[in-house]
Amino acid sequence: MDQNLVVKKRRIVLVPVPAQGHVTPIMQLGKALHSKGFSITVVQTQYNRVSSSKYFSDFNFLTIPGSLTESDLKNLGPLQFMLKLNQVCEASFKQCLGQLLKEQGDDDEIACVIYDEYMSLSKAAAKEFQLPSVVFSTTSATAFLCRSVIAKVNADKFLTDMKDLELQDKLFPGLHPLRYKDLPTSAFGPIESIPRVYSETVNIGTASAVIINTSTCLESSTLARLQRELQVPVYPIGPLHIAASAPSSLLEEDRSCIEWLNMQKPRSVIYVSLGSLALMEIKDALEMAWGLSNSNQPFLWVIRPGSIPSSEWTESLPEEFSKLVSERGYIVKWAPQMEVLRHPAVGGFWSHCGWNSTLESIGEGVPMICRPFTGDQKVNARYLQSVWRVGFQLEGELEKEDVERAVKRLLVDEEGAHMRKRAIELKKKLESSVRPGGSSCSSLDDFISSLKMKSS
């Protein structure tokens, strides 16, 4: 570490979104910055809090008050939840930051507030206290760019176009190779709220920089374009899970699946997981179940409790399927995903294509079957298939025959072997980017130098 980089101001305040896909990378960022000599304070709301495990024993965790009503918690989709959470916690966050500033010592001054792009409550507080603030994007640069483009187009026209079925397979102007249907609109809330939410997230206010969990080897042209548009430095410092591993699972991991993987042949298993939020219709779950069984490949399937609506866990799957599972499958409620992807028995990943899962899969050289549900997952799926060519999308109605064919295509056919080869090439590039001298590693150092310049 270059000791000169951290001279005076040395505490960084992190403000995560309380959801697994956001918590994981911001805690990794905290770990990376901590290893460069900064103290870390994590300011959280009362929802989905990260606990101070042995990995974060040096971090300071603060919880701010502010809660939503029972009815809001039950009825709001994630996007509406975030808008409301920002409203109800804005004052308490300001108070918390004010208190931190009062208490700080000479050798522990706050260098900056790094907030998740969906925690817009940070903007007003950072501005009031004239603290440098930095936006952290947990999605791809391309998804960020999409939000910026959507925020600028005419909202009425955008909403009309997105409802026009004939347009859906056409390319969206200026965002090649994304089609209308690949844009990060969300099934988690009404599409009408999208332009407003996106203008909120891409309006970086007084932020002095944007940090993105990506690498130039994945998104160089998008990053160059974002850099031109945003007019503040953009730092691609990912993939953070390679740069700074920091386990922060909000759910308990079932490690028994690793023992099961140990008994499978190399590259024979299809790992199936839809992340921490996606829900699956019972009809699709059944087609998946039969398709996976009929593929004759061993499968490890994460079924989160409650992810099949109206079902506690797997009781809606047929009795015969349970018998098949004991022969060639394994089902868990939550897996140690990184370890699973790294396991030599895993040959492919059936994924909803959340950005963390995407980075983790290509970071381990594992090719993917892409079945996105919502938001930026559709952008990632399109890139996995058309740009990086390390996976393919399953679009339209899900039938068991398609599931069976897809699994064989990825694990048995030559086409799958080519995708794996490309995934392994990308894995090497990603690993080099976070090593000293690599683009992401240098980008992180540049960011730290910029903090030093501000404090001197």
| Sites of contact with ligand UDP (CB under 6 A) | 20-21, 24, 249, 273, 275-277, 302, 334-335, 337-338, 354-357, 360
Alpha-carbon distance of 430 to 219, in angstroms, equals 12
Please tell me whether the peptide bond between 18 and the residue prior to it is cis, using omega within 30 degrees of 0.
no
Shortest reach from residue 97's CB to ligand UDP, in Å: 27
Shortest distance (Å) from residue 437 CB to ligand UDP: 27
Closest distance of CB 2 from ligand UDP, Å: 30
Q: How far is the CB of 348 from ligand UDP (least distance, A)?
A: 16
Nearest-approach distance from CB 357 to ligand UDP, in angstroms:
3
Please report, to the nearest 10 degrees, the dihedral formed by the alpha carbons of residues 341, 345, 349, 355 taken in order. Answer: 10
Residue 386 Cβ vs ligand UDP, minimum distance, rounded to whole Å: 20
Cα distance between residue 193 and residue 155, in whole Å: 10
Using the minimum distance from each CB to ligand UDP, give the nearer residue, 41 or 213. Answer: 213
Dihedral sign of CA atoms 154, 225, 189, 17 in order: negative
Q: Could you tell me the strand order of the sheet in which 209-212 lies? A: 60-63, 39-44, 11-15, 110-116, 133-137, 209-212, 234-236
Tell me if 274 sits within 8 A of 352, measured CB to CB. yes
Q: How far is the CB of 209 from ligand UDP (least distance, A)?
A: 22
Of 6 and 270, nearer to ligand UDP (C-beta) is: 270
In the complex with ligand UDP, which residue's Cβ is closer, 133 or 357? 357
Between 6 and 212, name the residue whose CB sits nearer to ligand UDP.
212
Residue number, 302 or 317, with CB nearest to ligand UDP:
302
Identity of the residue, 133 or 374, whose beta carbon is nearer to ligand UDP in the bound complex: 374
State in angstroms the smallest separation of the CB of 126 from ligand UDP: 25
| Exposure string over 328-337, b if 16+ CB within 10 A, otherwise e | bbbbbbbbbb
Q: Is 211 or 302 the residue whose CB approaches ligand UDP more closely? A: 302
22 or 225: whose CB is closer to ligand UDP? 22
Nearer to ligand UDP, 50 or 302 (CB): 302
Q: How far is the CB of 6 from ligand UDP (least distance, A)?
A: 29
Closer residue to ligand UDP (CB): 132 or 348: 348
At closest approach, how far in Å is the CB of 352 from ligand UDP?
A: 6
Instruction: Name the residue nearer to ligand UDP (CB basis): 302 or 410.
Output: 302
Choose between 302 and 366: whose C-beta lies nearer to ligand UDP.
302
CB of 394 to ligand UDP, least distance (A): 17
Quote the least distance from Cβ 142 to ligand UDP, whole Å.
Answer: 14
